[in-house]
């Protein structure tokens, strides 16, 4: 693909994005982990479930997905006849990358009578090999829906799987994948931070390691964490998920204090390098040029749609 024409530096990108959305009959979907300037121009801001639901319902002709590759794939699966653009095609996901379809298929073949439940953070090829897709918002409900006599294969996040096993008292066969953001929160640094802020509640995403989850006052999806922080009477929170969510927390509850949980590395907070590949400039270019487009073969669109539809029906 040729390089896009340069951006006129005099343009007001927020105004241009608004103009292009109207001109293209486009919707801009943005994940909570996007930079704040993208969140501020988005039509829908949410977690994976909310954005999938929005993609399923939209009557826009163009979907610009400010997120990562598997999210744009999901939007395309739900809208095979619409144009779906991803501001940066290299915005991937460590969970999806760590679950290659060929190895996943071989793993599945070892358990011929199982029910395959895959976290939405996986490729379209893995979705097509799955019986149900779940997000952190609905995984508990969907796993609980599966008959108790069935063996469940859960992929690709071992931490979310282990959390569900403990919560539901149900053994599953887990794919050993993890999220590079959520697996690197430091237990030692979190203990030190909690010591300095003894009244702060710890809010954690179930993709975190068990050592972090055992310290959490609340465990939930990105949206669950946001809603809990807004509704809780406490004024101070330590947040163990990608720091992009803090923007919406601070907008919704400016009188409260939100502290990002520290990673093992010597920096202030955990950020997803894939999510941060998208910029407002790239969003503008994607809407201007309708590139780069997310395309999938017809057979994959059909096969991957079934487990996603099952998820949406149960959500």
- pLDDT, residue 111, reads 97
Measured distance CA(260)–CA(244) in Å, rounded:
10
- Distance of alpha carbon 152 from alpha carbon 111, whole angstroms: 9
β-pair partners for 166? none
pLDDT tens-digit readout, 153-177: 999 999 999 999 999 999 999 999 9
Q: Binding site annotation covers 119?
A: yes
Task: Say whether 93 counts as a known binding-site residue.
Answer: yes
**Mean pLDDT, to the nearest integer, of 84-98?**
94
Residues forming beta bridges with residue 158, ordered by sequence position = none
- Annotation-wise, does 136 bind a ligand? yes
How does strand 26-31 pair with strand 173-174? Answer: unpaired
H helical segments located in the chain: 13-24, 36-39, 48-57, 69-78, 94-97, 101-109, 124-128, 139-145, 158-168, 187-196, 210-213, 222-231, 245-252, 280-289, 298-314
pLDDT of residue 3: 77
Residue 269 has pLDDT above 70, yes or no: no
184 annotated as belonging to a binding site for a ligand: no
pLDDT tens for each residue of 216-245: 999 999 999 999 999 999 999 999 999 899
Of residues 49 and 112, the one with the higher pLDDT is: 112
Give the pLDDT confidence of 140-158 residue by residue, as tens digits.
999 999 999 999 999 999 9
pLDDT at 1 exceeding the cut of 60? no
| Backbone angles phi and psi of 153, in degrees to 5 | -95, 125
Question: 180: pLDDT confidence band, cut at 50, 70 and 90?
Answer: confident
Number of other CB atoms surrounding residue 158 within 10 Å: 19
* Whole-number Å distance between alpha carbons of 93 and 5: 28
| Bond preceding residue 292 cis, omega within 30 of 0 | yes
- Indicate if the pLDDT at residue 2 is higher than 70: no
3-class DSSP string for 62-113 = EEEEECCHHHHHHHHHHCCCCEEECCCCCCCCHHHHCCCHHHHHHHHHCCCC
Q: How far apart are CA 81 and CA 84, in angstroms?
A: 9
257 is in an annotated binding site: no
Given a cut of 70, whether residue 265 has pLDDT beyond it is no
To the question of whether residue 207 is assigned a binding role by annotation, the answer is yes
Residues 219, 213: contact at Cβ < 8 Å? yes
Contacting residues for 102 by C-beta, under 8 A, at least 6 apart:
none
- State the pTM of this model: 0.90
- 11-63 tens-digit pLDDT: 899 999 999 999 999 999 999 999 999 999 999 999 988 999 999 999 999 99
Q: Which tokens belong to 177?
A: 């994948």
Residue 272 among known ligand-binding residues: yes
**Percentage of residues of the chain with pLDDT beyond 90:** 87
Q: Does 179 carry a binding-site annotation?
A: yes
Flag whether 222 is marked binding.
Answer: yes
Three-state DSSP state, 315: coil
Cα–Cα distance for residue pair 40/285, rounded to 1 Å: 17
Q: Is position 199 annotated in a ligand binding site?
A: no
pLDDT for 207 equals 93
Q: Is 187 annotated as a binding residue?
A: no
């Amino acid at each position: 693909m040729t390089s896009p024409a340069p951006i006129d530096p005099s343009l007001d990108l927020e105004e241009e994005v608004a103009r292009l959305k109207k001109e293209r009959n486009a919707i801009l979907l943005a994940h909570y982990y996007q930079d704040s300037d993208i969140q501020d121009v988005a039509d829908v801001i949410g977690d994976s479930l909310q954005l999938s639901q929005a993609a399923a319902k939209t009557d826009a002709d163009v979907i610009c997905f400010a997120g990562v590759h598997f999210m744009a794939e999901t939007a395309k699966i739900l809208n095979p006849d619409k144009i779906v653009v991803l501001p940066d095609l290299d915005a991937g996901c460590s969970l999806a990358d760590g679950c290659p379809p060929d190895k996943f298929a071989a793993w599945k073949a070892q358990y011929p009578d199982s029910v395959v439940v895959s976290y939405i953070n996986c490729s379209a090829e893995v979705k097509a090999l799955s019986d149900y897709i779940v997000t952190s918002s609905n995984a508990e409900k969907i796993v609980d829906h599966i008959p108790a006599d069935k063996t469940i294969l859960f992929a690709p996040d071992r931490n979310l799987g282990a959390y569900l096993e403990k919560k539901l008292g149900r053994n599953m066969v887990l794919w050993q994948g993890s999220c590079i953001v959520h697996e690197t929160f430091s237990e030692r640094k979190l203990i030190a931070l909690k010591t300095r802020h003894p009244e702060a509640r710890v809010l954690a995403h179930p993709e975190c390691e068990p050592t972090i989850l055992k310290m959490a006052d609340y465990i939930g999806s990105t949206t669950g964490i946001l809603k809990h922080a807004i509704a809780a009477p406490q004024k101070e929170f330590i947040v163990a998920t990608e720091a992009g969510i803090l923007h919406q927390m601070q907008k919704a509850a400016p009188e409260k204090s939100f502290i990002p949980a520290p990673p093992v590395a010597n920096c202030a907070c955990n950020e997803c390098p894939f999510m941060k590949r998208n910029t407002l400039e790239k969003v503008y270019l994607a809407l201007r040029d309708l590139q780069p487009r997310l395309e999938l073969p017809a057979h994959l669109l059909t096969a991957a749609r079934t487990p996603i539809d099952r998820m949406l029906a149960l959500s």
